[in-house]
Structure formats: structure tokens, C-alpha cells
């Protein structure tokens, strides 16, 4: 099931201050997460 824009915006609101404080200019969400197909033990990349 596709993640709602509201949920993605909520994530964005939480991480933006962290990204800005570390001068990170680009970030993304994996397609599997955006589509609701992520696995419980998915690997995070950063």
C-alpha cells in the first residue's frame, strides 16, 4: 500500500532540522518504503 503524502510530509518535518544542521542538501526515501513494501529489517543507507 502506498504511503500517504501526509505520512511522508510528517517524516520530512522531523528530519529537515537534522539534515540542515549537518548541511545535507539531498535526501530521499526508498521506493519500497514510499510504496509500503519495505521489509521489517530493511537496511538504511546514508
29-35 long-range Cβ contacts below 8 angstroms, 24+ apart: 33/3, 34/2, 34/3, 34/8, 35/1, 35/2, 35/3
Q: Domain total for the chain?
A: 1
Owning domain of residue 30: 1-46
Residue 37 clears pLDDT 80, i.e. is over it:
no
Average pLDDT over residues 16-43: 78
The better pLDDT of the pair 20, 46 is held by 20
Residue 1 clears pLDDT 60, i.e. is over it:
no
Task: Quickly count: other Cβ atoms within 10 Å of residue 16's Cβ.
Answer: 12
- Band (pLDDT 50/70/90 cuts) for residue 21 is very high
pLDDT of residue 3: 61
**pTM listed for this prediction:** 0.54
Amino acid at each position: 500500500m502506498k504511503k500517504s503524502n501526509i505520512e511522508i510530509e510528517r517524516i520530512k518535518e522531523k528530519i529537515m532540522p537534522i539534515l540542515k544542521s549537518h548541511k545535507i542538501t539531498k535526501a530521499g526515501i526508498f521506493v519500497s518504503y514510499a510504496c509500503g513494501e519495505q521489509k521489517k529489517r530493511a537496511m538504511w543507507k546514508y
